Amino acid sequence: MIALIPQLESTLAYLQPEARPSAESFDDVLKAAADSTPPPQPAAPPQYVVQRGDNLSEIAKKLGYSDPMELARTNGIKNPDLIQVGQVLNLPAKDSGTQGTTMLAATGKAHQSAKTAAANVQIKRINARAGKLVVASWYGANHAGKPMANGRPFDMYADTVAHKTLPLGTKVTLTNPANGRIATAEVTDRGPYIWGRNLDVSYGVARKLGMVEQGVAKLRMQKG
């Protein structure tokens, strides 16, 4: 009777376990997900913030590079005399100005790795001396004439800043790494009271640092 039903044999054959397509295993799914994972991004190159009185020759000597022009080439600097305070320089991974022979290649590579590590340590020390990195905003006309923490009325054009803990009257030097501008100010008020911000500068100080339009900027702050 089964043989008399049209197409029944082919239907029964499909229903057999060996005839059905096998489901994709969980291991296959995990492998496919792993294969689609994007490769890790390369680490950012070491950097150096130009300090007052620096030039390329002094920076190269300080960081252990034999050729100052290598720093210029790495950062696309056409005139080495025009670097600015606060400018961030990317450091070359190795001193390409010193070419070794094939026999000394391995030794030179190891030496360069040690030099780069020493340079990174030196950069951290120099940047620490350059001051603490703070997130700063500015305040102006809305607070004009209102009494500050030191009792004096707020002058939006004066060189003053607000800080949460520094003693009132403390002198600070601020540097904007984005443009190299520098300003000095006195702590006269308390604030800011917005999470994530460390310093409020007056409108006058914000103009000197070139951060009025930006509103919020990362600055380097050191006492004195």
pTM higher than 0.75: no
**215 or 17, greater pLDDT:** 215
Supply the pLDDT for residue 79. Answer: 81
Supply the pLDDT for residue 25. Answer: 58
Q: How confident is the model at residue 90 (pLDDT cuts 50, 70, 90)?
A: confident
Backbone phi and psi for residue 139, each to the nearest 5 degrees, phi listed first = -135, 150
Supply the pLDDT for residue 101. Answer: 42
Residues 198-213, mean pLDDT to the nearest whole number:
97
The domain boundary, picked from 107, 130, 153, lies at 130
Torsion over CA of 39, 40, 44 and 46, rounded to 10 degrees?
-110
Going by C-alpha positions, the residue among 164, 140, 123, 163 that lies closest to residue 172 is: 163
The string of pLDDT tens digits covering residues 131-162 is 789 999 999 999 999 999 999 999 999 999 99
Supply the pLDDT for residue 130. Answer: 60
What residue numbers bound the domain in which 94 lies?
A: 47-130
Same domain, 143 and 215: yes
**CA atoms lying within 13 Å on the CB side of residue 20:** 8
Let me know if 170 is exposed, middle or buried by CB neighbors in 10 A (0-12, 13-18, 19+). Answer: middle
- What's the sign of the alpha-carbon dihedral 86, 186, 135, 130? positive
Going by C-alpha positions, the residue among 161, 169, 171 that lies closest to residue 198 is: 161
- Whether 30 and 39 have beta carbons less than 8 Å apart is answered as no
Paired residues of 163 in beta bridges:
199
Same domain, 157 and 175: yes
Q: Give the domain CATH number at 147.
A: 2.40.40.10
